[in-house]
Every structure is written in structure tokens, then in C-alpha cells.
């Protein structure tokens, strides 16, 4: 049996054992739903009368062990729909699953011993004893909605790690531990890169060291884009709702926007309101049921439909449209590329935030390019070449995904077809046919898109870059350009970002590099350690020489001993630590400690060391130069 199949059968069988154990512990009223295998094990969704916590894990694991030891026989049966329904009477999820099975499909059930039956396609082990040697451990319990729908039952999902042997399980737990050690929240705090405060959830405070990196990323993006003909703009952070009405955000995105009340909408109320909808998610739903609410005397309420209501921008696009609209445009001007790095705000439901990966305030390396349809192909090829250069600089690989026309598309189907064909031509040429994924029908209603997923040092994938065609906003804003024949035509807008959000990207590279950044990106690039106070003068001279060459250097002039000084810079993961004493001062050299090795370069001339630094800044070198040759 090949490994894939082996894992599938065993993990899936363990899910059944898990369900059986949970039912034996918590009683027959447990509703069990589905228990698929996943990447590192399996899970099972339950509706359990009690709430399961970490304290219960051991009992469940032991119950599973006990069940396996019973060496029960597993049997497969084919049953009719009615028989199946009878077998699972009282199990509402199973009943729903059975009802949803297509007519004529063979329904199979598996029994484990006499007292447990599950609806399942299989295959499974023949006898529980085959599971005797597999290693498993409850990973966690978490909430999950029945069929992923937040309006339906909220269930408890119990996750299991499952591997064929104890060694493999151990190996996996080690990898998890490794990921934990790379956690950007932990490293970000240790390296003084950023912080959060409860008064601004999901909005990072960038500390000096972190902001330095942030600026380097911006600088790199700006340099690269300037070479590719981009022009940068900046636009208001808050706009009147009029703009959001035109762009469609007021109708489709309002619950994710931070509102800025004006003066007009404030009302003093002292009345009974017949129908108040309390759940913000249902505000736009026609059949949301309101309840009568009595407002207290002189309550202050706000009517967001007032003419002077403003909102913080969640996206840059509408203002880019406005910028384009300022003058008339000729086809000769296109493509026009407006890049911007403005601050965006998106209100998230609580529980959605996650360090820098998901925040409420962020910047993107955003751009809106206005092109003629005939220019799409060439423009996107250029965007991909930018992405190539940026990702390569961080030493990460990526793959592309194309999402095509959804059912509720907007615009001319012919335009869609031509645009999708153009995107496919580019991707075929770049990655070879089949060298990228196609998600049919997954595009936005306003245009097809290409997503770029990067793969980090642990093999985890992250969505960063995105290139989206947009036929809708030019329409909403009435954008035009004058074509060669004198007619007025509508440009196509290309939205694109390569880092994605700077915040998320920094989170990813913190984990990718484990805080040991390439030289050009390091908050401080060189730490200088004078051995004794009498060496401070020479240290100052070295510091000045480096600063003059644009190198970010920090020097420890305190009276602590050199070991402590070295330790401090090592903990900050400065790429180079210079140790300066009598010898160096006399010879005008530096002794260099290279990060990540115990290697010391002795007697490097100051001039040579400055050159090494300058070269790495200029070339955005990924690896540290660890030789003075």
C-alpha cells in the first residue's frame, strides 16, 4: 500500500475511533457530523452537550486507546436511503448528509464493533488492531460552523495529529515547535520592531527598528517601480460617502469601513424606535427582524446617511479613479500608472486579527494602471517581471493562480474572453502551460485576476501579490480616453500589489528569516563594540565612516564589558558586530563578527569593510558577505 493511501485509511479510521470515544464519554446525545483527514491528521465535528477543553484531551486519548485495544472488527455495508435514515435517526447532520446524496448513489456505512456506525465512503481498516501502532495526539479543539456557514450550528471540532509511527509524530511536533519559534509576534517584540495596544486593535505601532525596515521595503519598491515607469501619488485617507456611493463600497463594503461622523447626522432622540436591527451583519438584509427599542431621554444617535458622513478608505482605487478623471486623456498617454502607499483602514470582526498577518490599519504597495485593452498583455507581463525581481530578492519562490469569470460577472462577455485569453497567454509563456493553477469562476465580478502565492522557508504558502483587471470602476466613474480615431473609449484598470500589504509581508519575512534579515533590510546593519572606554574615540571614527556611506550603525559607548555589548547586538541579530580595541585602532582596521557563524574576520581594513556594506545595500544581497576577500 502506498503511503498516501496508508495515511488516508489510517487517519480516516482514527476519526471514527475519535467519534466513538467522544460518544462513549459524553453520551448518546452527541451529534456527530463529519470527520475528514487533513494534512497532519484528521478532525471530527461534534455537537456536544458539554464543552471540551484541554483538560479533557487525555481522557479522550485514553478512551481511544481503549477502543483500539478492543480489536473490534470493522464492517462495510451498502444500504438504501431509507435504511440509512433509519440507522441515523436522531442524528440531524447525518440525516442531512444522507438527504443531500444524489439519487442512485450507493450509500455505504461502516460499523466499528456493534455499537458504532458511521456514514462513510471508506476505505477503512478491517480491524481496530491495525491501529495499535499508529501515533496520534489531540491537537486542539476549536469552533467550526456546520458546513462552514456562520448562520448554522456552531460545533466543536476536535483535531488530531496522526502519523504511522511515534517518530513521525515527534518529527511533526518538532516542525510545529519550529514554526512557533519563528512566530513574528514573538520575534517582533524581541527585536523591538513593533507593538500593539488595546486602544488600537489591529493597528501596529512601528518602533524605530521596525520602521527602519518598513522604510527600506518602501524604498526598494519605489526604486524598482520608478524604473518601470510608475508615478506615485497620495490621496485623502477619508472621503465623503458620496465617493463610496459611486465606487460601490457604500453598498458592498460598508461594514468593513471605519466611519467618520460629520455634524449633520447627530440627532438627539427621546422616542420609541419601532424596529431596531441589532446585528450589524443583517443591516442590509431585507428580512432582518428588528425589535422595538426605547431610547433613553436625550440619547444621542447618528444617522450615517447624513450628507457629511465620511469614511476612512479601505482601498485606494476610488481616489485613483478621481485622480485619473482630473483631466482628459489621450490614448498616447496610456498606460498611466498611479502607485500609492497610503494608509488603509478595514474594520474586521473581532477575532479576525492576527499579529501583522491580519490588521485593521495597513499600507499596500498598491498601483492602479489605466490601459487600453490592447495593452493588457504587455502590462501584466511587466508586472510579473517586477514580482519576479521582488520575490527573488527575498529568496522565496512563488506560484501563480488565475481566477476566471464568475457567474455574476459584470460587463461585456467578449471583453472578458479577450482579457482572460490575454492573461492565459502571459501565464503560459511565463510558467508554461499547466505551470499555474486556474480557478474557474473564482474571479471578482468586476474582472479576472492573478494571485501570487509565495512559499516561505518552512514551506508555508502566503498570498501576497495580486493582479486584478477591472471593467467596473472605470464604468462607475465614467473614465474615458480619446482614441486615435477621435472616439471616446473606456480604459481598463489594472489593480496590483506585489508585497500585498507591507504589514503582512513584514510578518512573513520575519518568520521566513527568523529575524535574521538580509543586510540591506536589517534595522541596524552594524553594531560597534569598543572594548574599553579608551576605544570609544576610534569607535566613533568607524561609526562616522559607516554612516557617511549610508550604513545603519549603532555603537555601544556604555561602560559595560565587551561581552555584554556583543551579546546585546547578537540578540538584536545585527548582521555584523565590530569589536574594536588597541590593535584595530593602531592599524585602522576592524574585527568583524559575522552573524550566524562563529567566524571572525580579523584585521579587515575599515575601507574594505565599508565597501562590503555598501555593496550589499546596493545589490540587495540575500546572503551576508562573510569574507573580506
Task: Detail the DSSP E strand segments found in 164-215.
Answer: 194-195, 205-206
Q: Of 145 and 331, which CB lies nearer to RNA in the complex structure? A: 145
Residues whose CB is less than 8 angstroms from the CB of residue 252 and which lie 6 or more positions away in sequence, other chains included: none
CB of 151 to RNA, least distance (A): 9
Q: Which is nearer to RNA, 302 or 445 (CB)?
A: 445
Indicate the pairing of strand 259-260 with strand 361-371.
unpaired
Phi, psi angle pair for 125, to nearest 5°: -70, 160
Task: Please name the residues in contact with 375: beta carbons below 8 A apart, sequence gap of 6 or more.
Answer: 334, 335
CB nearer to RNA: give 39 or 105: 39
The answer to whether 157 and 43 have CB atoms below 8 angstroms apart is yes
- How far is 402 from 427, CA to CA, in rounded Å? 9
| Residue position matching grid coordinates 440627532 | 267
Nearest-angstrom CA–CA distance, 358 and 490: 35
User: What's the min distance (Å) between Cβ of 81 and RNA?
Assistant: 27
**Nearest approach, Cβ of residue 310 and RNA (Å):** 20
Cell of 550: 549610508
Cβ neighbours, 10 Å, residue 458: 12
Query: Based on CB atoms, which residue is closest to RNA, 7 or 155?
Result: 155
> Which CB atom, from 1 or from 586, has the smaller least distance to RNA?
586
Closest to 365 in 3D by CA, of 484, 246, 478, 467? 467
User: Read out DSSP for 444-456?
Assistant: BTTB-EEEEEEE-
- As measured in angstroms, the least distance from the Cβ of 429 to RNA is 24
Q: How far apart are CA 467 and CA 451, in angstroms?
A: 6
Phi, psi dihedral angles at 272 (to 5 degrees): -95, 125
DSSP H/E element including 368: strand 361-371
Measured from the CB atom, the residue of 192 and 615 that comes closer to RNA is 192
- Angular region, 535: left φ>0, alpha ψ -120 to 50, beta rest: alpha
CB of 563 vs RNA, minimal distance in Å? 4
Q: Is the CB of 116 or the CB of 499 nearer to RNA?
A: 499
- Residue among 381 and 562 whose Cβ is closer to RNA: 562
Grid coordinates representing 286 are: 431585507
d(CA 561, CA 538): 17
* Closest approach of RNA to the CB of residue 138, in Å: 11
CA dihedral 525, 512, 216, 324 (to 10 degrees): 180
**Shortest spacing between CB 570 and RNA, in angstroms:** 4
Please, are residues 32 and 3 in contact by the beta-carbon 8 Å criterion?
A: no
Catalytic amino acids?
317, 346, 364, 366, 368, 449, 495
The answer to whether the beta carbons of residues 169 and 135 sit under 8 Å apart is: yes
- Nearest approach, Cβ of 450 to RNA (angstroms)? 12
Least distance (Å) from RNA to the CB of residue 153?
9
Task: Check residue 358 and report its DSSP letter.
Answer: B
Cα–Cα distance between 259 and 281 in angstroms, integer? 16
Q: What is the DSSP letter of 73?
A: B
Question: Quick one: which of 182, 309, 319, 153 has its CA closest to 240?
Answer: 309
For RNA, the closer CB: 160 or 531 = 531
CB of 574 to RNA, least distance (A): 11
For residue 104, the number of C-alpha atoms closer than 13 Å in the C-beta half-sphere is 0
- CA–CA separation, 49 vs 118, rounded Å? 20
**What are the Cα distances from residue 31, in Å, to 95, 97, 101?**
11, 13, 19
**Residue 228 neighbours by CB distance under 10 Å:** 14
Of 116 and 524, CB closest to RNA: 524
Question: Min. distance of Cβ 169 from RNA in angstroms?
Answer: 17
Residues near RNA, by CB under 7 A: 51-55, 140-145, 148, 150, 154, 156-157, 159, 183, 185, 189, 196, 198, 201-202, 346, 348-355, 358-360, 362, 364, 463-464, 466, 497, 500-501, 503-504, 531-534, 559-564, 566-567, 570-571, 577, 579, 581-584, 591, 593, 600, 602
Looking at the Cβ atoms of 329 and 347, the one nearer to RNA is 347
**CB contact set of 209 (below 8 Å; sequence gap of 6+):** 191, 192, 193, 523, 524, 572
Residues 174, 572: Cα–Cα separation, whole Å: 25
Amino acid at each position: 500500500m502506498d503511503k498516501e493511501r496508508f495515511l488516508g485509511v489510517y487517519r480516516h479510521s482514527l476519526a471514527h475511533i475519535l467519534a466513538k470515544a467522544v460518544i462513549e464519554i459524553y453520551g448518546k446525545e452527541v451529534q456527530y457530523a463529519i470527520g475528514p483527514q487533513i494534512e497532519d491528521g484528521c478532525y471530527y465535528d461534534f455537537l456536544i452537550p458539554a464543552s471540551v477543553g484541554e483538560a479533557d484531551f487525555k481522557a479522550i486519548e485514553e478512551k481511544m486507546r481503549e477502543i483500539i485495544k478492543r480489536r473490534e472488527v470493522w464492517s462495510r455495508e451498502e444500504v438504501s436511503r431509507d435504511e440509512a435514515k433509519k440507522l441515523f435517526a436522531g442524528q440531524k447532520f447525518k440525516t442531512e448528509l444522507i438527504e443531500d446524496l444524489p439519487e442512485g448513489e450507493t450509500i455505504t456505512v461502516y460499523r466499528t464493533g456493534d455499537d458504532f456506525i458511521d456514514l462513510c465512503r471508506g476505505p477503512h481498516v478491517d480491524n481496530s488492531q491495525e491501529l495499535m501502532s499508529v501515533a496520534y495526539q489531540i491537537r486542539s479543539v476549536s469552533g467550526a460552523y456546520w458546513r462552514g456557514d456562520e448562520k448554522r450550528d456552531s460545533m466543536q471540532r476536535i483535531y488530531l495529529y496522526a502519523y504511522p509511527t511515534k517518530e513521525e509524530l515527534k518529527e511533526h511536533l518538532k516542525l510545529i515547535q519550529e514554526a512557533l519559534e519563528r512566530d513574528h509576534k514573538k520575534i517582533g517584540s524581541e527585536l523591538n520592531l513593533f507593538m500593539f495596544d488595546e486602544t488600537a486593535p489591529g493597528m501596529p505601532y512601528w518602533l524605530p527598528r521596525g520602521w527602519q525596515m518598513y522604510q527600506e521595503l518602501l524604498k526598494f519598491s519605489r526604486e524598482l517601480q520608478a524604473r518601470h515607469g510608475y508615478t506615485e501619488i497620495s490621496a485623502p485617507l477619508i472621503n465623503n460617502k458620496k465617493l463610496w456611493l459611486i465606487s460601490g463600497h457604500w453598498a458592498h463594503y460598508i461594514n468593513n469601513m471605519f466611519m467618520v461622523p460629520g455634524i449633520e447626522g447627530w440627532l438627539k432622540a427621546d422616542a420609541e424606535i419601532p424596529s431596531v436591527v441589532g446585528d450589524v451583519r443583517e443591516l442590509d438584509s431585507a428580512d432582518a427582524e428588528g425589535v422595538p427599542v426605547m431610547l433613553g431621554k436625550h440619547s444621542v444617535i447618528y444617522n450615517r446617511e447624513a450628507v457629511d458622513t465620511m469614511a476612512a478608505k479601505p482601498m485606494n482605487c476610488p481616489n485613483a479613479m478621481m485622480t485619473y478623471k482630473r483631466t482628459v486623456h489621450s490614448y498616447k498617454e496610456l498606460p498611466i500608472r498611479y502607485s500609492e502607499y497610503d494608509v488603509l483602514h478595514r474594520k474586521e470582526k473581532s477575532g479576525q486579527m492576527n499579529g501583522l498577518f491580519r490588521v485593521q490599519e495597513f499600507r499596500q504597495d498598491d498601483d492602479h494602471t489605466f490601459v487600453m485593452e490592447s495593452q493588457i498583455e504587455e502590462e501584466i507581463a511587466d508586472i510579473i517581471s517586477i514580482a519576479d525581481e521582488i520575490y527573488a530578492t527575498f529568496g522565496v519562490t512563488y506560484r501563480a493562480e488565475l481566477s476566471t469569470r464568475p457567474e455574476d460577472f459584470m460587463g461585456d462577455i467578449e471583453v472578458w474572453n479577450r482579457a482572460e485569453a490575454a492573461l492565459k497567454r502571459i501565464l503560459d509563456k511565463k510558467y508554461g502551460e499547466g505551470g499555474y493553477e486556474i480557478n474557474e469562476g473564482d474571479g471578482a465580478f468586476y474582472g479576472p485576476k492573478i494571485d501570487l502565492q509565495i512559499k516561505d522557508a518552512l514551506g508555508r504558502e502566503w498570498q501576497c501579490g495580486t493582479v486584478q483587471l477591472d471593467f467596473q470602476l472605470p464604468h462607475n466613474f465614467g473614465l474615458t480616453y480619446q482614441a486615435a480615431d477621435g472616439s471616446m473609449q473606456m480604459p481598463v484598470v489594472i489593480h496590483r500589489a506585489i508585497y500585498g500589504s507591507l504589514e503582512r509581508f513584514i510578518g512573513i519575512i520575519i518568520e521566513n528569516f527568523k529575524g535574521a534579515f538580509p543586510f540591506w533590510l536589517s534595522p541596524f546593519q552594524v553594531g560597534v563594540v569598543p572594548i574599553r572606554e579608551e576605544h570609544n574615540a576610534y569607535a566613533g571614527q568607524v561609526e562616522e565612516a559607516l554612516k557617511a556611506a549610508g550604513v545603519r550603525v549603532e555603537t555601544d559607548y556604555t561602560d559595560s564589558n565587551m561581552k555584554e555589548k556583543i551579546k546585546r547586538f547578537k540578540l538584536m541579530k545585527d548582521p555584523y558586530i565590530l569589536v574594536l580595541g588597541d590593535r584595530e585602532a593602531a592599524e585602522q582596521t576592524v574585527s568583524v563578527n559575522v552573524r550566524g557563524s562563529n567566524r571572525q574576520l580579523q584585521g579587515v581594513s575599515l575601507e574594505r569593510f565599508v565597501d562590503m556594506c555598501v555593496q550589499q545595500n546596493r545589490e540587495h544581497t540575500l546572503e551576508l558577505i562573510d569574507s573580506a576577500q
